[in-house]
Structure 1
Amino acid sequence: MSARDPEPGEEDPLVKGVRLRGERHRRWLREGDPSVARRLAQIGVLGWIIVTPMLIGIFAGRWLDQKFNSGLFWTAPLLMLGLGLGCWSAWKWIKDA
């Protein structure tokens, strides 16, 4: 096996998941449970991760609707797109945390 060859199972998502779980468990043993303040901070960040793309979608949609005089033609879809992007970003943030 050369130095560039990946270890067996390195590409396997199950192996990656088990390694990540082991790392998280070792970190928990070393650091203990997070404080209430840290958990509240995480909830706040999570909220902003979801809300910010939604607000951007609303502002962009309202601007486009005013520019083209189209009612809510752009606002509603861009709001939903922002919600989807925010939820996806939050999921990725939680998954990688």
Structure 2
Amino acid sequence: MKKFICTISPNLYRYYWATMVVVIVSLTLTTPTFAVDDMWTVANTIIVDVYTKIAGISTVLAGLMSAIAVIGVKLANNQHKSDNAWDWRATRS
């Protein structure tokens, strides 16, 4: 049989081995990946996470600005400065 194959193509045996080596190497080096969730679930998770972080930062900044306005009112010695402190908070939020 080997002699018959060699008479058809003298290099067929070499091509077969090269093809098999490429197939075996590609099968051993590829790693399968499986998606846990679909695209919409992942996108929803990302959006909720970003929104939560932005809401947290906004809450902290609003509290800080209110504290600065309260300190401004406490340090003010007349009504005009006190009103300006509250107006400053209203224009920044």
The TM-score bracket by the shorter chain reads 0.3 to 0.5
- Whose RCO is larger (CA < 8 A, sep 6+)? 1
TM-score of the superposed pair, with normalisation by structure 1: 0.39
TM-score of the superposed pair, with normalisation by structure 2: 0.40
